[in-house]
Amino acid sequence: MTVELICVGTELLMGNIVNTNAAFMAERCAVLGLDCFYQTVVGDNEERLSETIKQAVGRSDIVILSGGLGPTEDDLTKETAAKVMGKDLVMDEKAWKHITSYFEKRGLELTENNRKQALVPAGSMVLYNKNGTAPGIIMEDEKCRIILLPGPPIELKYLWQEKVEEYLKSLSGDVLVSEMVKICGSGESKVETVLKDLIDAQSNPTIATYAKTGEVDVRVTAKGNDEKECKKLLKPVVKEIKKRFGSKIFTTDENVTLEMAVMQILNENKMTLTTAESITGGMIASRLINVPGASDVIKVGFVTYSNKAKRKYLGVKRSTLDKFGAVSEQCAKEMAKGGAAAAKSDVCVAITGIAGPGGETADKEIGLTYIAVSVAGKIKVKEYRFEGSREKIRTTATTSALTLLRHCLLENLTEKTFGE
C-alpha cells in the first residue's frame, strides 16, 4: 500500500519553519510497512494545491496532508481537498462545541472566522483535537483515502498517535512489529559493514539503519499474521545484532535515549554525577537533566569557559594550563578530578575543546576535544577530532561525552563484579 505526504504552507517553502512533520510521518509510515514514494511541500495557493492533491490521488492509495486547517483565508487545505473529492462542507456541531470551549477556558475572544474550522467534508470521519482547535479529517472513496492533519507538530502528533496510526493499521491485513536497536560508539558505515550479510539476506524481518548524531539506530521489522508471530521472527535477528555489538547497544526500546540509559545506570547504582564543561557550555548537563529523576543523581554542573574559572571551581593547576593549555588531556583530567572533588560526587564527566570558528593554533585545530570521566577516583581521558560547524562540533561532542560516560560506568561495574 502506497502513501504520499503533502505538507502545506508558504512558510515551509520560505524556510521560516523547519518541516519536522514530514520526517515524523515518513518514519511512522515506514514502521507501518507503507511505501512512501513521494513527498511534496506546496504553498497556500488553491490552484497549485489542487493540482498537487489530484496528482497524489492518481498515484497513491493514501494521501496525507498537514497544515492549512486554520481559521484564516489562506488556510485552504480542507476546502481544496473536499473540492477534489467532490464533497460539500457541513457544520460539525461537536467540533464547534469543542472550539468554543477551547476559547472560553483560555479567556480568548471567539471570532466569526473560527466557525470555519468546524466545517467538515460531508460523510468524512472527524478526528477531534484535544491539543488545538482544528480537527483532523479522513475522507474515503473507491479510489483513494485522504487524511488531513493540522500543521502544529504537537497537534499533528497527538492525532497521529491517538487516531491515524490505528486507522492505517486497520487498512492492512498484516501485522507489523518493530524493534529498535540503538548503538553508540560506532559510525553508520561501521554498523552497516558489521551487518552487511544480514542486510543482504533480509526478507522478513527487514533491517534498516538510521544515522543520528553520535549514534546509529537499527530498526528490525517483521510482518506476520499476529504480534506473536512477528516477535518470533524478530527474536533471532535482534539476538544476532546484540551478539555483534555487545555493550555498544544501549537499548532496544525506541523511546529510550542515550541520556536516559546513562541515568538509569547511575540511578540503579545510587551514584551521583557532576558535569564540568567548557566547549559544550552546559549541553551535557542539559541533556541529562531532561531525564525525570535527574535531581537524585546530578549534584552540580560547572560551565568553566575561562582558565580562571577552571582554576577557581575545578582546581585545574596554573602550571597545567601554562604548559599544556586549556585544550589538553592534562586539563581534561584535572577538570574531571576537580569536579568530582568539589561536589563530592561519585562520577564526573569533563570536556574541553575548540568549537571554532577561530581559536585554533598551529598544533591544535578546530574540533580537537578532550573528554575525561572520573568514576570512583579512576579517570579515563580520550582525544577526539570532530568536524563541521560550531553547532555540529558541540552537539557531537555532547553525545560522545555521554557515550564515554556510559562506557566508563559499565567498565567500573564490571570490575566491581569480578573484584567481588
The strand pair at 119-121 and 89-91 is best described as: antiparallel
**Which domain-ending residue is among 233, 251, 269?**
251
Same domain, 119 and 263: no
Instruction: Count Cβ neighbours within 10 Å for each residue of 356-373 and write b for 16 or more, e otherwise.
Output: beeeeeeeeebbbbbbbb
Which CATH number fits the domain that encloses residue 219?
3.30.70.2860
pLDDT of res. 125: 97
Residue with cell 551478539: 243
pLDDT of res. 138: 98
**Which domain-ending residue is among 170, 186, 207?**
170
pLDDT of res. 322: 97
Same domain, 42 and 163: yes
Same domain, 166 and 36: yes
Asked whether the predicted pLDDT for residue 283 surpasses 60, the reply is yes
The strand pair at 347-353 and 119-121 is best described as: unpaired
Same domain, 204 and 304: no
Strand, coil or helix: 271: coil
Same domain, 153 and 199: no
Q: Please tell me which residue, 78 or 177, carries the higher pLDDT value.
A: 78
**Which domain-ending residue is among 195, 218, 251?**
251
Share of the chain above pLDDT 90, in %: 88
Identify the domain containing residue 396 by its residue range: 258-419
Read off the pTM. 0.78
pLDDT of res. 113: 92
Domain total for the chain?
3
Closest CA to 335 of 383, 303, 289: 303
Q: Which three cell numbers stand for residue 251?
A: 537499548
Q: Which three cell numbers stand for residue 129?
A: 483535537
Task: Encode pLDDT of 47-86 as tens digits.
Answer: 999 999 999 999 999 999 999 999 999 999 999 999 999 9
pLDDT of res. 143: 86
Share of the chain above pLDDT 70, in %: 99
Same domain, 205 and 353: no
Same domain, 329 and 411: yes
Same domain, 98 and 17: yes
Which CATH number fits the domain that encloses residue 275?
3.90.950.20
What span, in angstroms and rounded, lies between the C-alpha atoms of 55 and 68? 19
Axis crossing angle, helix 258-268 with helix 390-419, rounded to the nearest 10: 30
The confidence band for 418, taking pLDDT boundaries of 50, 70 and 90, is low
Same domain, 370 and 395: yes
Ranking 42-46, 153-157, 176-180 by mean pLDDT, the lowest is: 176-180
Asked whether the predicted pLDDT for residue 7 surpasses 50, the reply is yes
Task: Encode pLDDT of 292-304 as tens digits.
Answer: 999 999 999 999 9
Same domain, 18 and 44: yes
Same domain, 6 and 93: yes
Asked whether the predicted pLDDT for residue 419 surpasses 70, the reply is no
Which CATH number fits the domain that encloses residue 60?
3.40.980.10
pLDDT of res. 172: 75
Mean residue pLDDT of the chain comes to 95
Asked whether the predicted pLDDT for residue 417 surpasses 80, the reply is no
Same domain, 349 and 239: no
Q: Provide the H-helix boundaries in 88-171.
A: 93-105, 153-159, 165-170
Asked whether the predicted pLDDT for residue 387 surpasses 90, the reply is yes
pLDDT of res. 420: 47
